[in-house]
């Protein structure tokens, strides 16, 4: 168990280059199983979830060679019986091995996936889609057991726009000869990254970035390489830290027009906007920021949803940012029923907020925060607690910090380089 000791009140200054998108890295790693040729990923984050996925792949027999932030994987000979059940339970992304193993080996047995406890996270869309393509699915004592002699071209209608279900079915369709359609597909940037890799491997995919994907698959997928898109969740987290501490920060090599338009709307509601300079985002503190009321002076609402709505992964970050803004704002978390259950920790630190129900929180700012002893419940809430501690008066301790390591690379080192007073202890 690791803890972070933080002294608040020190502005963040300097520049920071985010890693590749954590949510893209896991499906891209899983896709290496679709071919016996080398697959190279650049800008791969060195985070705990990626390490666990690489351990799972190594256990299956995938050769790996890492140079800097690039990793080359080659799945010449793989054995699905060697999939480690304990490692599967450590990350949500282990479910992404289902389709590639079905395609390559005709069978897969996966222990229930782990991940953040932010509410029920269904697997039904994955399993119904694979069953429609011809797989048999059983839920046994060993976990999910899937068998398929061969998969068939299908028109699939997802009952929810699940990111990981879309990714699993994309991989299955890309490696199955014939024409497939996925309706109600997720279209987040990380799904688009997977589409681009599968295209380079030999699949024909149309409709990338929309909720209807047309895939012409092939059983002869080959090797490819791809640079993972920048992690906009990480970038926005560091910008929020600069805003809360009254600092100035340049985020390098992050700008993508679609992503920027989606996430800047939520920050603009709080008056914490930034400038775009080529591929960089630049934030300069202006001595405070203010909530932009709705028409007629009504309290505004920030709500999440499927892309291109505001992403759920940033709701915890924005919740803390709102404690530094002047005004009132209502947060409405619609994606996960337990995403907001940690806000009592912010109340302990002095935040003026009311949890109306499991999905809605009203924040009245600005709120002078004070140092406190807390524990990280999940990746995003853990990072949000770091932001609160950086802005608070006095010292804070955040336990269970390894939870944050699952999604943020070297978070204490990066913040320390930007001027934060933060130390890691075991």
Is the same domain home to 252 and 146?
no
CA distance 252 to 18: 7
Give CA 300 to chain center in angstroms: 26
The pair of three-digit structure tokens given for residue 49, joined into one six-digit string: 């979830």
Predicted pLDDT of residue 32: 98
Helix-helix angle 124-132:98-105, to 10 degrees = 30
CATH code: domain of residue 304: 3.65.10.10
Q: Which domain holds residue 347?
A: 3-18+230-425
Q: What pTM was estimated for this model as a whole? A: 0.95
CB contact at 8 A, 332 and 359? yes
* Rounded CA separation 131/112 (Å): 18
**Same domain as 303, residue 214:** no
293 and 239 share one domain: yes
Q: Among the options 36, 69, 116, 357, which is catalytic?
A: 116
Which pLDDT value is given to residue 118?
44
pLDDT < 70: residue spans in the chain: 114-121
Domain boundary, last residue among 210, 227, 244: 227
pLDDT value at position 124? 86
> Are 281 and 410 in the same domain?
yes
Question: What pLDDT, on a 0 to 100 scale, did the predictor assign at position 214?
Answer: 98
Instruction: Determine the length of the chain.
Output: 426
Judge if the upstream peptide bond of residue 203 is cis by omega within 30 degrees of 0.
no
Say yes or no: 223 and 234 in one domain. no
The radius of gyration of the chain's CA atoms, rounded to the nearest angstrom, is 22
Last residue of a domain, one of 182, 207, 227: 227
Residues 234 and 378 in one domain: yes
Are 207 and 90 contained in the same domain? yes
- Assess whether 270 and 205 both reside in one domain: no
User: What's the domain count of the chain?
Assistant: 2
Q: Are 156 and 303 part of one and the same domain?
A: no
Same domain flag for 123 and 249: no
220 an active-site residue? no
Closest by CA to 29, choosing from 88, 89, 74, is 74
- Residue 61 CA to residue 81 CA, distance in Å, equals 11
- Which H, E and C letters describe the chain, residue by residue? CCEEEEECCCCCEEEECCCECHHHHHHHHHHHHHCCCCEEEECCCCCHHHHHHHHHHHHHCCEEEEECCEEEEECCCCCHHHCCHHHHCCCHHHHHHHHHHHHHHCEEEECCCCCCCCCCCCCHHHHHHHHHCCCEEEEECCEEEEECCCCCCCEEECCCCCHHHHHHHHHHHHCCCEEEEEECCCCCHHHHHHHHHHHHHCCEEECCCCCEEEEEECCCCCCEEEECCECHHHHHHHHHHHHHHCCEEEECCCCCHHHHHHHHHHHHHCCCCCEEECCEEEEECCCCEECCCEHHHECCEEEECCCCCECHHHHHHHHHHHCCEEEEEEEECCCCCCCCCCCHHHHHCCCCEEEEECCEEEEEECCCCECCEEECCCHHHHHHHHHHHHHCECEEEEECCHHHHCCCCCHHHHHHHCCCEEEEEC
b/e per residue, 74-110, with b = 16+ CB within 10 A? bbeebebeebbeebbbbbbbbbbbbbbbbbbbebbbb
Residue 144, pLDDT score: 84
CA distance 22 to 419: 25
| pLDDT at residue 114, rounded to an integer | 63
Domain boundary among 227, 249, 272: 227
Find out whether 107 and 147 touch, Cβ atoms under 8 Å: yes
Whether 198 and 243 map to the same domain: the answer is no
Q: Answer yes or no: do 7 and 96 share one domain.
A: no
Q: How high is the pLDDT of residue 143? A: 78
């Amino acid at each position: 168990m690791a803890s972070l000791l933080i002294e608040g009140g020190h502005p963040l200054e300097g520049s920071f280059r985010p890693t590749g998108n954590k949510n893209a890295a896991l499906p891209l790693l899983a896709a290496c199983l679709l071919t016996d040729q080398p697959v190279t990923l650049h800008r791969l984050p060195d985070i705990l979830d990626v390490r666990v996925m690489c351990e799972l792949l190594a256990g299956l027999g995938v050769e790996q060679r890492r140079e800097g932030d690039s990793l080359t994987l080659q799945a010449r000979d793989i054995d699905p019986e060697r999939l480690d059940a304990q490692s599967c339970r450590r990350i949500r992304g282990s479910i992404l091995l289902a389709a590639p193993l079905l395609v390559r080996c005709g069978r897969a047995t996966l222990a229930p996936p782990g991940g953040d406890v932010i509410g029920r996270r269904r697997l039904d869309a994955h399993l119904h889609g694979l069953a429609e393509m011809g797989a048999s699915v059983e839920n046994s004592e060993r976990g999910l057991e899937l068998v398929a002699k061969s998969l068939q071209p299908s028109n699939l209608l997802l009952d929810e726009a699940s990111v990981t279900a879309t990714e699993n079915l994309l991989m299955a369709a890309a490696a199955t000869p014939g024409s497939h359609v996925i309706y109600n597909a997720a279209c987040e940037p990380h799904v688009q990254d997977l589409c681009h890799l599968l295209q380079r491997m030999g699949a024909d995919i149309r409709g990338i970035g929309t909720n209807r994907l047309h895939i012409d698959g092939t059983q002869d997928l080959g090797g490819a390489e791809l640079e993972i898109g920048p992690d906009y969740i990480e970038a926005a987290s560091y910008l929020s830290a600069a805003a809360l501490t009254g600092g100035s920060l340049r985020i390098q090599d992050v700008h993508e027009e679609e992503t920027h338009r989606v996430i800047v709307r939520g920050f603009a509601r709080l008056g914490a906007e930034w400038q775009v300079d080529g591929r960089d985002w630049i934030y300069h503190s202006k001595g405070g920021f203010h909530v932009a009321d709705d028409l007629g002076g009504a309290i505004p609402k920030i709500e999440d949803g499927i892309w291109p709505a505001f992403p759920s992964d940033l709701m915890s970050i924005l919740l803390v940012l709102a404690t530094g803004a002047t005004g009132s704002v209502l947060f409405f978390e619609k994606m996960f029923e337990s995403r907001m259950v940690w806000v009592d920790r912010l109340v302990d630190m002095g935040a003026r907020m009311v949890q109306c129900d499991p999905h809605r929180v009203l924040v009245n700012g600005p709120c002078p925060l004070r140092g406190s002893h807390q524990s990280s419940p999940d990746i995003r809430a853990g990072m949000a607690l770091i932001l609160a501690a950086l802005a608070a008066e006095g010292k804070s301790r955040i336990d269970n910090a390894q939870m944050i390591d699952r999604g943020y690379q070297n978070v204490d080192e990066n913040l320390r380089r930007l001027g934060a007073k933060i130390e890691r202890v075991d």
